[in-house]
């Protein structure tokens, strides 16, 4: 039987019924979201949490403080997040931009038109499309859909990609969602968090647990020849839904192992996502 490809809002509804609210992105402030988005590249979220805790303890969880920090000292503080020298440079580049352009208030960025803000963020060292969209959506509350490797995998298996493009790229996938969804930041926030949850816990790379997936009835299982339906993956610590139960696992507020970001796949600036709730 050929399964029909469900509409995006139907997928969102199915996920919401089973998963409930995701409360992304866990953080104390919009700037912490942005810092987490930079720090989460290719590491477990628990490691990002450790780095954030060290920044907080050192009084550096602000754009002003990070922009003025000693680079070596900053790198040492974010060491738990891995690639710590590069990530320290990226954090300082973002922080300096916020200080110089917005008086140190990342919230002030939200007043910029989205079609000007996104290219502006992409011009900052270390900010690629995934990180830029994470900052725009989860730190600033503006509607810019976040795409990650989970998005590619889940929707590829659902059967969307062959109907749209053979080898989707980040901007194409983002446009795919944004052209089919209302420009609603709350919707984008929740939908991306849902996709992350399914991609992390169920739609595994080699052994998807389709029997427990909210999307099983509408999924074509494209590229997944023999999905297992009888085994739940070993639970890993994941970034929790809200503080103080911060999440664990690779990648960010989303949890567990984090697949390569688009920046990593494309060999670009490197950064990744994760989530937070205000
Ligand atoms: S039904 Fe299986 S292949 Fe389809 S999205 Fe769910 S886990 Fe992935």
Tell me the C-alpha distance between 28 and 39, whole Å.
16
Question: What pLDDT, on the 0 to 100 scale, is given for residue 4?
Answer: 59
Q: What is the reported pTM?
A: 0.81
Structurally, the chain folds into a number of domains equal to 2
**pLDDT tens digits along 153-163:** 899 888 876 65
Q: Tokens 């509350």 map to which residue?
A: 141
Tell me the C-alpha distance between 55 and 42, whole Å.
19
Q: Take atom 5 of ligand 1 and give the residue whose Cα is closest.
A: 154
Range of the domain at 60: 30-139
- Quick one: 122 and 154 in the same domain? no
Say if residue 271's pLDDT is above 60.
no
Share of the chain above pLDDT 90, in %: 63
- Quick one: 173 and 190 in the same domain? yes
From 10-24, 195-209, 252-266, the region with the lowest mean pLDDT? 252-266
Q: Which of 6, 149, 154, 229 to mutate to test the pocket of ligand 1 (most atoms within 8 A of CB)?
A: 154
pLDDT level of residue 165 (50, 70, 90 thresholds): low
Phi-psi region of 267 (alpha: psi -120 to 50; beta: other; left: phi over 0): left
- Quick one: 185 and 127 in the same domain? no
**pLDDT tens digits along 235-267:** 433 444 333 333 333 344 654 434 444 444 333
Q: Decide: residue 72, CB within 10 A, 0-12 exposed, 13-18 middle, 19+ buried.
A: exposed
- Quick one: 44 and 122 in the same domain? yes
What is the rounded average pLDDT for all residues in the chain?
A: 82
Question: What pLDDT, on the 0 to 100 scale, is given for residue 44?
Answer: 77
What mean pLDDT do residues 83-109 have?
98
| Domain stop point among 123, 139, 155 | 139
| Domain stop point among 139, 170, 191 | 139
- For 277, phi and psi rounded to 5 degrees? -125, 135
- Quick one: 105 and 49 in the same domain? yes
Question: What pLDDT, on the 0 to 100 scale, is given for residue 12?
Answer: 97
Q: Whose CA is closest to 24, among 150, 149, 139, 173?
A: 139
Number of DSSP helices (H) and strands (E) in the chain, helices first = 13, 0
Instruction: Report yes or no on 254 lying in a domain.
Output: no
Say if residue 121's pLDDT is above 90.
yes
Say if residue 120's pLDDT is above 80.
yes
What mean pLDDT do residues 221-245 have?
45
Q: Take atom 2 of ligand 1 and give the residue whose Cα is closest.
A: 210
- Quick one: 69 and 123 in the same domain? yes
Instruction: Report yes or no on 2 lying in a domain.
Output: no
Instruction: Report yes or no on 67 lying in a domain.
Output: yes
Q: At what angle do helices 8-19 and 185-201 cross, to 10 degrees?
A: 70
Cβ–ligand 1 distance for 227 under 6 Å, the answer: yes
Instruction: Report yes or no on 272 lying in a domain.
Output: no
User: For the chain, what's the residue count?
Assistant: 278
| Domain stop point among 139, 162, 181 | 139
Instruction: Report yes or no on 276 lying in a domain.
Output: no
Which CATH number goes with the domain that contains 120?
1.10.340.30
Which CATH number goes with the domain that contains 198?
1.10.1670.10
Cβ–ligand 1 distance for 8 under 6 Å, the answer: no
- 190 to 18, 80, 150, 174, 260: CA distances (angstroms): 13, 28, 14, 15, 21
- Quick one: 119 and 162 in the same domain? no
How is residue 152 written in tokens?
A: 């590619």
Give 2 or 220, the one with higher predicted confidence: 220
Q: At what angle do helices 84-102 and 30-39 cross, to 10 degrees?
A: 150
- Quick one: 39 and 78 in the same domain? yes
Q: Which of 152, 201, 210, 231 to mutate to test the pocket of ligand 1 (most atoms within 8 A of CB)?
A: 210
Q: Take atom 7 of ligand 1 and give the residue whose Cα is closest.
A: 203
Question: What pLDDT, on the 0 to 100 scale, is given for residue 83?
Answer: 96
- Quick one: 71 and 108 in the same domain? yes
Instruction: Report yes or no on 180 lying in a domain.
Output: yes
Question: What pLDDT, on the 0 to 100 scale, is given for residue 233?
Answer: 40
């Amino acid at each position: 039987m050929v399964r029909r490809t469900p509409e995006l809002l139907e997928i969102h509804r199915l996920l919401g019924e089973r998963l409930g609210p995701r409360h992304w992105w866990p953080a104390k402030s919009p700037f912490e979201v942005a810092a987490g988005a930079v720090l989460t590249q290719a590491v477990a979220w628990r490691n990002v949490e450790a780095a954030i805790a060290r920044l907080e303890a050192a009084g550096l969880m602000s754009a002003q403080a990070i922009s003025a920090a000693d680079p070596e000292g900053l790198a040492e503080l974010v060491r738990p997040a891995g690639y710590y020298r590069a990530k320290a440079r990226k954090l300082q580049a973002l922080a300096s931009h916020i200080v110089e352009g917005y008086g140190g208030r990342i919230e002030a960025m939200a007043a910029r038109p989205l079609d000007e803000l996104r290219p502006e963020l992409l011009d900052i060292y270390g900010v690629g499309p995934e990180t830029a969209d994470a900052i725009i959506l989860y730190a600033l509350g503006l509607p810019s859909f976040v795409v990650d490797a989970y998005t590619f995998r889940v929707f590829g298996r659902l059967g969307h990609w062959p109907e749209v493009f053979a080898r989707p790229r980040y901007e194409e996938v983002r446009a795919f969602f944004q052209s089919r969804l209302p420009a609603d930041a709350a919707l984008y926030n929740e939908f991306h968090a849902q996709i992350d949850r399914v991609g992390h816990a169920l739609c595994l790379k080699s052994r998807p647990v389709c029997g427990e997936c909210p999307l099983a009835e509408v999924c074509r299982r494209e590229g997944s020849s023999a999905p297992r339906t009888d085994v739940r993956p070993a639970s890993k610590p994941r970034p929790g839904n809200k503080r103080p139960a911060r999440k664990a696992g690779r990648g960010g507020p989303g949890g567990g192992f984090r697949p390569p970001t688009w920046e990593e796949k494309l060999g670009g600036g490197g950064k990744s996502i994760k989530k937070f709730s205000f």
